[in-house]
Structure 1
Amino acid sequence: MRTCAYEKGVCPVAFIDHLLIIGLLVAISAFFSMSEISLAAARKMKLQMLEAEGDSRAARVLALQQAPGHFFTVVQIGLNGVAILGGILGEQALTPYIEQSLNWLAGNQSWIPTLSFVSSFLTVTSVFILFADLIPKRLAMIAPEKVALLVVSPMLLCLRAFKPLVWLFNSVADLFFRLFQLPQTRDEQITSDEIVAMVDAGAEAGVLMEHEQHVIGNVFELDSRTVPSAMTVRDSIIYLSLQDSEDEVRQKVAEHPHTKFLVCDGQIDQVVGYVESKEILRRVLTGQSFTRLNELSVRNVLAVPDTLTLSDVLEQFKAGREDFAVVMNEYALVVGVITISDVLNTLMGNLVHPFSEDQIVQRDQQSWLIDGATSTEDVCRALGLDHLPEQGSYETIAGFMMTMLKRIPKRTDFVMVGDYKFEVVDIDHFRIDQLLVVRQSPPASGQ
C-alpha cells in the first residue's frame, strides 16, 4: 500500500495518479465530442455510397442518424459525467501542489489558497476545452464520415451500457417534443437550391469545371423555363407550302439547310405537318421529280402549347418519339417551332454548337450587346443579377423592355435596373433586335 509523508496531503504518487486519471477523462471526453460532431455531420449520401460498397459500419451510422436522440443522450451523459469528475479530481490533484509551491515562493500568505484554487480550476478547464472539446470537434468536422465510421462501434457499446439511463432521459425528452409538437426525426429531403449550392461550392473548390457547373445549373432551369425561351420564333420560321412549286421548294432547302421544314397550306397558321430535307435531297439525287409536297411523305407534326416548360417538352418528345414540334398559343396560332436540339442548347450552352453566334457579347467590363430573343435567365446570369422586375411576366429580354415601358419600344428607349441601363439599339419592324446594356452609377433622376 502506497503512503505519503508529505504535509497537507501533497503526495507525488497521488499527484501522478490524479494526472493519469485526468488524462483518461480528457480522452473519454474527446471521444464523446468527436462522436457527437461526426455522427451529426456525416453526410447521408456519402454514407449510402459507402454502404453500397460493402462497409457495414456505414449502415450502423445511418441507423444511428435515424434516431439521433439515442446517441445524443449517451454523449451528454458521458460529457457531463466526465466534466464533473474532471473538476473534482483536478482540484484535488493540482490545488495542494500549487499551494505548496506558492508558499515556498511567497511565504504563508492568506491569499495563496484562493489563488491556488483559481489556478487549478483554470488549468483543468483549459485542458478540457482545448484537448477534450475544440481539437476533437475540429478534427471531426474535417472528415465527419471517416470519424463516424471509427466511433460507431464504441458508441453502440455505450448505448447498450447506458440503456436504462438512455431510456429514462429519452422518455422525458420525447414527452417535451410531443407536448410542443416538435419533429423528432431529421428531414433528409434535398432541394434543388441545396444541390445548386453544393455545385457552386464544388466549382469554387476546383472539383467541377466552370462548364460543368453551368450544365448542372441549367438542368434545374428546365423546370422553370418555358418553351418560348428556346424556340425559333414565328418570324424566323422557314416553312414550305403545299402550293410551292418544285423549284421553290428546292430554292428554300438550298438557302436554308434545315433538317426539317414545317409544311403549311398557304399560310403558316394552317399547319399540315413537316417534311425532312433528306426526303427532298434523296429525290434530287436520284433524279425524281415531284409536283406536290404531299408526295414527299409529309408527316404529322407534334403540336405543343407555348405554356409548357422545357422539361415538359422533353417528356412530349419522349412520349411521341419525336424531336420536332410546332408551338401554338391559346388562339391556335403558330408562335414558333422547337426541336430537341434547342432544348439541348439551353442545357449545354455553347458545348453543343461551340461556333454558333453568341446571343450575349461582352464588349468590355461595363457593357454588353444582347439579342432581343435572349432568355431573361441567361441575361441575369451574364450580368450577375438575381432577377429582373416582374420576371414572371415575360420570357425574353425584349419582353422585359415591353413590360417595363408598357408600349412597343423604339430605338434609344431605355430602362434602368439598379446600376444597369438597358437601351434599345436596333429595331427590325416592331421587333427588338438588339439591346446595349451598360453598367453605370444610378442616375440622379428617373427616365
Structure 2
Amino acid sequence: MGDALGIIILILFGALFAMAEISIAASRKIKLKVMADEGNDQAEAVIRLQDHPGRFFAMIQIALNAIAILGGIIGEQTLTPYTSQLVALVYSGPLAGQISFVLSFLAITSLFILFADLLPKRIAMIMPEAVAARVVRLMNGITFALTPFVMFFNSITNLVLRIFNVPTVREDIVTTEDIVAMMEAGAQHGSLQQQEYQLLGNVFELEGRTLSTAMTTRDAIVYFDIKDDNAAISAKILEHPHNHFLVCDGHLDKLVGLVESKQLLRQLLKGESTQLTDSLIDKDLFYLPETLTLSEALNEFKSAAQPFAVVVNEYAMVVGIVTLKDLMSSFMGDLVTFQGEQQIVQRDNNSWLVDGATPIVDIMKLLDIPEFPNDNQYETVAGFLIYMLKRIPKRTDYINHAGYKFEAIDINGIRVEQLLVTRLSEPESDSTIDSSQVS
C-alpha cells in the first residue's frame, strides 16, 4: 500500500514539473506583460524566469530524472508480485519471471507517460500563461532548495553553449511577421473582428507604400494661373469646388503659393471682381519628396499645419499633391468611404474596371495576388502594364498574370486611363503578354 502511494506521489510531482516546464517555455511574453500591467505579480515573475531560464531548466531536469529513476525502482517492486500472479494463471514456465517484469515495466511506464507527461503537458499548452503564473513561485522555491546541484549542471551547460557560440539567454524580438501571424490567428479564431484585422493590416502597409500611391497626380491638379481673369477663376471654382488651389506663374513647376477658395468666394458675393492679389496668396507651401512612405508623410503633416502638401521628385518637379484625407483614406481603406470617384468598380464576379492610377498594392489586396514581377519598378496598375509591354500601351493591349487578364480599354494620349481586369477560367502561373500587340 505504501509503495502504491509512493507511485501516486511521484506521478503527481512528475505532472507538476512537466506542466511547469512546458507552460513557462510556451508562455507568450506579450500576454504576460499585459497580465503584469494588470497587477499580476506572478506574471512578472514568469517574465524574469524566461529572461534567465538556465537555473530553472537545470532544476526541472534534475527533478524529472530523479522521479523517473525512483518511479522505475518503486514501480517494479510494487507491481511485479501482482503481475506474477496474473502470469501464473496462464503460464508457469521458466520465462514467467521475465514476463512479469516486462508487464510491470509496461504498466508503470504507461502510467507515467499518460498521467505525468502527456496529460499535464497538454493542459499546459492549452493555457500556458495561467499555469505558469500559478507554479512559478513553487518552482523558484525548489530551484533555491537545489541550488548546489542546479549551479553545477547550469555552469557546465553554459560552458558548452559558449564553446559552440550559442546564446545563453533567450531574446524575444517581436517582428512585423510575428504580429501579422498573431493577427491572422485572431481573425481566424474570431477574437479579432474583420474590421480590426483590416485596420491593423493597413497600419503596416503605411510603411511599405510611398506617396505616389495616395497622391493626386500632376495631370489631375487643378490650379490657378497668376494671370487668370475673373471668368477663368469663377469657372474653375464652380467646376472644381476645392477648399484650396495652387497658384502658379505659367505652369506647375513655377509655384507662387496657394489660395483659399472662400477668400475668392467672398469677393464674388460682394460683387467684386476676383483677383489673385498678394494679400490673398499664402506663399508658405508645404513640400514633400515623392520617396516618403505614407507613415513618414503622416509624421510630417503632424508638424506642419498645412491643408495639403506639394509632392516633388528629385529634380524639384511637381508630380502631385497629397492631403491628409488622402493619407487617412489609405489608412482606413474600405472602412470609411470618402466622396469621390472610385478607382475600382466591380462589374460582375469575374471582372473589374480599374483606374490606371490605382496603386498596385490595392490590386494585390483586392484580387489576392501574392506578388507582381519586379514591383519595385512601378507603383500603379498602368505602370505594371507599361513595364511588362516595354512600351506605351494601345487599346486592347493586355497582360495575363496570376490568373487575371489586365487589358487597356481607355487610352488618353499616352496615359492609360482605365483597364479591364478579368479573372481567367484557367489561371496561368507566369505573366504572359499579348504577342499580337507587341511591335
The alignment's TM-score, normalised by the length of structure 1, stands at 0.92
| Matching of residue 366 in structure 1 with residue 366 in structure 2 | no
Partner of 1:30: 15
- Mapping of 1:295-444 within 5 angstroms? 295-353=279-337, 356-440=340-424, 441-442=426-427
Read off the aligned partner of 2:107 and give its amino acid letter.
Answer: T
Displacement of 1:356 after TM fit?
4.5
Q: Quick check: 33-42 or 437-446, which moved more?
A: 437-446
Read off the aligned partner of 1:225 and give its amino acid letter.
Answer: R
Displacement of 1:132 after TM fit?
1.0
Read off the aligned partner of 1:32 and give its amino acid letter.
Answer: F
Displacement of 1:286 after TM fit?
4.8
Displacement of 1:172 after TM fit?
0.4
Q: How many Å separate the matches in 2 of 1:85 and 1:185?
A: 32
Q: How many Å separate the matches in 1 of 2:346 and 2:16?
A: 55
Displacement of 1:128 after TM fit?
1.1
- Mapping of 1:94-113 within 5 angstroms? 94-103=79-88, 105-113=89-97
Q: How many Å separate the matches in 2 of 1:198 and 1:263?
A: 49
* CA-to-aligned-CA distance 1:245-303 (integer Å, 9 cap, x gap): 12322221121111211111121221111112232233334555443343324242111
Partner of 1:142: 126
Query: Match for 2:26 among 30, 33, 41?
Result: 41
Q: Quick check: 247-256 or 275-284, which moved more?
A: 275-284
Query: Match for 1:254 among 238, 258, 267?
Result: 238
Displacement of 1:146 after TM fit?
0.7
Give identity over the alignment, percent. 48
Q: How many Å separate the matches in 1 of 2:128 and 2:158?
A: 27
Indicate if the aligned counterparts of 1:350 and 1:356 stay in contact, CA closer than 8 A.
Answer: no
Q: How many Å separate the matches in 2 of 1:116 and 1:210?
A: 61
- Residues 211 and 429 of structure 1, relative CA distance in 2, 3 Å threshold: farther
- Residues 116 and 282 of structure 1, relative CA distance in 2, 3 Å threshold: farther
For structure 2, the 5+ residue unaligned runs are 435-439
Query: Match for 1:89 among 74, 77, 81?
Result: 74
- Residues 446 and 427 of structure 1, relative CA distance in 2, 3 Å threshold: closer
Q: How many Å separate the matches in 2 of 1:344 and 1:433?
A: 24
The alignment's TM-score, normalised by the length of structure 2, stands at 0.93
Q: How many Å separate the matches in 2 of 1:158 and 1:43?
A: 23
Q: How many Å separate the matches in 2 of 1:381 and 1:292?
A: 44
Q: How many Å separate the matches in 1 of 2:109 and 2:26?
A: 26
Q: Quick check: 334-343 or 297-306, which moved more?
A: 297-306
| Matching of residue 284 in structure 1 with residue 274 in structure 2 | no
Indicate if the aligned counterparts of 2:87 and 2:99 stay in contact, CA closer than 8 A.
Answer: no
Q: How many Å separate the matches in 1 of 2:71 and 2:363?
A: 61
Read off the aligned partner of 1:422 and give its amino acid letter.
Answer: F
Query: Match for 1:170 among 154, 167, 170?
Result: 154
Indicate if the aligned counterparts of 2:385 and 2:399 stay in contact, CA closer than 8 A.
Answer: yes
Indicate if the aligned counterparts of 1:263 and 1:298 stay in contact, CA closer than 8 A.
Answer: no
Query: Match for 2:254 among 258, 267, 270?
Result: 270
Q: Could you say what secondary structure the match of 1:24 adopts? A: helix
* CA-to-aligned-CA distance 1:13-50 (integer Å, 9 cap, x gap): xxx22221111111111111110111111121222222
- Residues 149 and 439 of structure 1, relative CA distance in 2, 3 Å threshold: same
Q: Quick check: 226-235 or 83-92, which moved more?
A: 83-92
Indicate if the aligned counterparts of 1:272 and 1:300 stay in contact, CA closer than 8 A.
Answer: no
Displacement of 1:446 after TM fit?
6.1
Partner of 2:437: none
Q: How many Å separate the matches in 2 of 1:279 and 1:446?
A: 52
| Matching of residue 210 in structure 1 with residue 201 in structure 2 | no
For structure 1, the 5+ residue unaligned runs are 1-15
Partner of 2:112: 128
Query: Match for 1:68 among 34, 41, 53?
Result: 53
Read off the aligned partner of 2:264 and give its amino acid letter.
Answer: I
* CA-to-aligned-CA distance 1:203-258 (integer Å, 9 cap, x gap): 11112222221211111111111111000011111111111112322221121111
The alignment covers a number of residue pairs equal to 431
Q: How many Å separate the matches in 2 of 1:305 and 1:72?
A: 54
Indicate if the aligned counterparts of 2:224 and 2:233 stay in contact, CA closer than 8 A.
Answer: yes
Partner of 1:10: none
Q: How many Å separate the matches in 2 of 1:382 and 1:222?
A: 17
Q: Quick check: 217-226 or 108-117, which moved more?
A: 108-117
- Residues 119 and 368 of structure 1, relative CA distance in 2, 3 Å threshold: farther
| Matching of residue 59 in structure 1 with residue 44 in structure 2 | yes
Read off the aligned partner of 1:68 and give its amino acid letter.
Answer: P
Read off the aligned partner of 2:231 and give its amino acid letter.
Answer: D
* CA-to-aligned-CA distance 1:424-445 (integer Å, 9 cap, x gap): 1221221112222223225698
Indicate if the aligned counterparts of 2:248 and 2:257 stay in contact, CA closer than 8 A.
Answer: yes
Q: How many Å separate the matches in 2 of 1:370 and 1:151?
A: 58
Q: Could you say what secondary structure the match of 1:183 adopts? A: coil
Indicate if the aligned counterparts of 1:242 and 1:294 stay in contact, CA closer than 8 A.
Answer: no
Read off the aligned partner of 1:210 and give its amino acid letter.
Answer: Q
- Residues 107 and 54 of structure 1, relative CA distance in 2, 3 Å threshold: closer
Query: Match for 1:232 among 202, 205, 216?
Result: 216
